Amino acid sequence: MSQEIPTVDVLIVGAGCAGLFLLDSLVRKGISALLIESKAFGLGQTTSSQGILHAGVKYSLGGLAGDDATEAAAAASLWSKMLSGDATDLRAVRKLADRCYLWRTAGLAGAAGMLGAKVALRTRPEPVTKDARPLWLKDVGGEVLTLAETVIDPRSLLSVLAQRHVGRIALGNVRSIVEENRVQRVEIESTRPAIIRARQIFLTAGAGNEALSKLAGNACEMQRRPLRQAMIRGPLEMVFGHCIDGAKTRVTITSDRISKDEVVWHIGGQVAEDGPRMTLENFRAHAIAELRSAIPKIDLQGCSFESYDVDRAEPRTADGRRPPRAFARTTGSVTTVWPIKLVLAPVIAAEITASTAASDYPSAHWPSDMPAPEFAQRPWEVATLSWNPIP
């Protein structure tokens, strides 16, 4: 027998950063909302994120600040307030760095990209003298700047948001979505079958949105843009920053400490864009070569290398490029949401909440026998990885 769960204003499907920000925002407004997750908190894009709250640098290297750069810069300002305790209080989120370095290769292309960032960004990068550079940037031939881009631990963010809504988040699979008398009837498979009715449904499941939107009769075309992220672990310094080459970030590096004597570098940028077109062996050689070119005289003795593949799931665009803004599209009472970037998740959540009305439904919780999801591992914690020593 399926257990019947009282009707709610909103059911959210997907417990990544978008879903949790939306749940928190709706509940603070007094809207009756629950969230269902099929696997684990943040599995996929959120826990694979490098955690950079982009201030727009990646989108301004050509010298023009378009919608994506402008929106990211405004969102970064909102994050600064939240991390200081305003509105959505995120003071408990673990901050890894409060700024990133921005440096260029010595060639003309690198110089052009750096100039574009200086011209276009709302928060201008600050020059770093040679004497003030960290040791790992001492031998860089080009200019070095610092940029006020905060880096957070994405899993810490998920934990902080989830802890506020214990009982409102459950583990289960959506099996059907059918509209009945202007209310969506959702069948869920969990510890036992359950049925819940909601006035509105928000799909925030990343790549899972494609199948879910079809299930709801609200097919929203999706595209996948593949990445291959590199990781290096060993006796390394904590590094946060972007190496600029022309209008692209050649490599983007963030770090985390995994033991007293070991740090892991999480590496993205153009090298991650190139990765899916290479064999694993060629990618390993390419990524290490790019690092050694971006950071001259880098010491990788005692370090190991590994990589993983992840897809960026987004609404389909005509040219297959990254959409310029956070995305939410509503058909009937079902809305498909993609924040596009971590930094934009609270922005799209606030926009949705502002247009969502509360009703007389009381605050809701899942039945106590429905379990909560576990938290997904960060990429370097996966037990099946095969770390290879770097010669």
Q: Is the same domain home to 302 and 340? A: no
In a domain, residue 188? The reply is: yes
Domain limits for position 41? 3-46+157-221+316-376
Cα gap 227→273, rounded to integer Å? 5
pTM of this structure: 0.93
CATH of the domain at 364: 3.50.50.60
| Tokens found for residue 54 | 């982009």
- Give the integer Cα–Cα distance in Å for 196 and 5: 5
Q: Which H/E stretch holds residue 6?
A: strand 3-13
Residues 210 and 331 in one domain: yes
CATH number for the domain spanning 269: value is: 3.30.9
Q: Are residues 11 and 140 in the same domain?
A: no
Question: Which tokens is 112 given?
Answer: 């052009």
Regarding whether 295 and 228 lie in a shared domain, the answer is yes
Which residues, 6+ apart, have CB-to-CB distance to 382 below 8 Å?
308
Question: Are 369 and 329 in a shared domain?
Answer: yes
Q: Please name the residue that has the structure tokens 């490599």.
A: 251
Residue 167 and residue 291 share a domain: no
**In a structure prediction context, what are the per-residue pLDDT tens digits for the chain, which is 391 residues long?**
789 999 999 999 999 999 999 999 999 999 999 999 999 999 999 999 999 998 755 554 444 344 456 677 778 888 999 999 987 999 999 999 999 999 987 654 555 455 555 544 455 678 999 999 999 999 998 889 998 889 999 999 999 999 999 999 999 999 999 999 999 999 999 999 999 999 999 999 999 999 999 999 988 999 999 999 999 999 999 999 999 887 688 999 999 999 999 999 999 999 999 999 999 999 999 999 999 999 998 999 999 999 999 999 999 998 888 887 899 999 999 999 999 999 999 999 999 999 999 888 999 999 999 999 999 999 999 989 999 999 9
Domain contains 74: no
85 is a domain residue = no
Q: Is 232 found in the same domain as 118?
A: yes
Do residues 19 and 140 share a domain? Answer: no
The answer to whether the beta carbons of residues 46 and 380 sit under 8 Å apart is no
Q: What does the pLDDT look like over 80-101, one tens digit per residue?
A: 999 999 879 999 999 999 999 9
Task: Tell whether 135 and 245 lie within a shared domain.
Answer: yes
In a domain? residue 52: no
Spatial CA neighbour of 32 closest among 5, 55, 7, 61 = 7
Residue 125 and residue 203 in one domain = no
One domain for residues 110 and 216: no
Instruction: From 283, 313, 343, give the residue that closes a domain.
Output: 313
Residue 73, domain member (yes or no) = no
Give a yes or no: residue 17 inside a domain: yes
Residue 248 in any domain: the answer is yes
Q: What are phi and psi of 375, to 5 degrees?
A: -90, 135
How many domains in the chain? 2
Q: Is residue 241 part of a domain?
A: yes
276: DSSP letter: G
My answer on whether 143 and 246 are in the same domain is yes
